[in-house]
């Protein structure tokens, strides 16, 4: 699998380098004992920015999880970004999950919409409509038919930066890395009402390898 970086996300390289340099600096100047808290922080930063490649399921009609985390919502609602009734599946990421975001489907990006907002706990329902967020609406190709799928990156209580690397007109394939959210957040997935969910609230999921629903 062609992947843009070796195991650790490129978004984290400056943070990892800074934490390691600070830890080594305090160790060399004042001894290992005083540097222990900084080494603990370094370990946390390294684990936060881990980003291993994932195997993509071969099932054609599968909608894949765009993120690691826990399912907090599976319900029918209105997709405000594509103006339609939809099935919403929300994945909450805590600070110990991988925070790389990957495409759930094959398809073409129709729109990318960014909304500034609040930074309330991403586990709360109102985070979907009130927090800072970035919505990618995709014309997904599933078994020769086109369907609209919307992926929304939502900032959380600690998250302060949503990164999205795709633009309208760009093609995406399942499992392709398209964004990153720093330090705790969620991804909302809006699917056609014809989708059959394969997960339930409370389930733990992994980006790309977990099938959220089928069409």
Residue 119 in this model has a pLDDT that exceeds 70: no
Q: Is 83 inside any structural domain?
A: yes
User: Percentage of the chain with pLDDT > 90?
Assistant: 68
Tens-digit pLDDT profile for residues 29-64: 999 999 999 999 999 999 989 998 889 999 999 999
The answer to whether residue 55 sits within a structural domain is no
Residue 56 lies in a domain: no
Say whether both 141 and 195 belong to one domain.
yes
Q: What is the CATH number of the domain that holds 88?
A: 2.70.70
Task: Say if 202 falls within a structural domain.
Answer: yes
The residues carrying an active-site annotation are 185
Predicted TM-score (pTM) of this structure: 0.88
Whole-number Cα distances in Å, 19 to 13, 39, 41, 88, 132: 10, 8, 7, 38, 27
Its domain, for residue 178, covers 62-214
Q: What is the pLDDT of residue 155?
A: 83
Q: 102 and 160: one domain?
A: yes
Residues 44 and 66 in one domain: no
Task: Output the CA angle 155-50-200, nearest 5 degrees.
Answer: 55
Q: What is the dihedral of CA 137, 128, 59, 139, to 10 degrees?
A: -10
CA 73 distance to own-chain centroid = 15
Between CA 112 and CA 134 the distance in angstroms is 7
**148-168 pLDDT, tens per residue?**
999 999 986 655 578 999 999
Residues in contact with 65: Cβ distance below 8 Å, sequence separation at least 6, in sequence order: 91, 104, 205, 206, 207, 208, 209, 210, 211, 212
Q: Report the pLDDT value the prediction gives residue 116, as an integer from 0 to 100.
A: 84
Average predicted confidence (pLDDT) for the chain:
89
Find the mean pLDDT for residues 87-91.
97
């Amino acid at each position: 699998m062609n992947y843009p970086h070796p195991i650790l996300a490129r978004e984290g390289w400056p943070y990892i380098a800074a934490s390691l340099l600070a830890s080594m600096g305090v160790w060399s100047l004042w001894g290992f004992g005083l540097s222990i808290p900084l080494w603990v922080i370094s370990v946390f930063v390294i684990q936060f920015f881990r980003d291993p490649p994932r195997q993509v399921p071969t099932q054609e009609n599968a909608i894949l999880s765009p993120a690691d985390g826990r399912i907090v919502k599976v319900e029918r609602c209105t997709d405000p970004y594509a103006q339609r009734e939809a099935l919403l599946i929300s994945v909450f990421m805590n600070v110990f999950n991988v925070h790389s975001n990957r495409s759930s489907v094959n398809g073409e990006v129709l729109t990318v919409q960014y909304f500034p907002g609040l930074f309330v706990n991403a586990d709360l329902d109102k985070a979907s409509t009130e927090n800072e967020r970035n919505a990618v609406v995709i014309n997904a190709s599933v078994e020769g038919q086109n369907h609209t799928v919307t992926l929304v990156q939502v900032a959380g209580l600690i998250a302060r930066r949503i990164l999205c690397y795709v633009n309208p007109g760009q093609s995406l394939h399942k499992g392709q890395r398209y964004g990153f959210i720093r330090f705790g957040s969620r991804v909302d997935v809006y699917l056609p009402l014809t989708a059959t969910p394969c997960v339930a609230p409370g389930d733990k999921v992994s980006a790309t390898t977990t099938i959220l629903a089928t069409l």
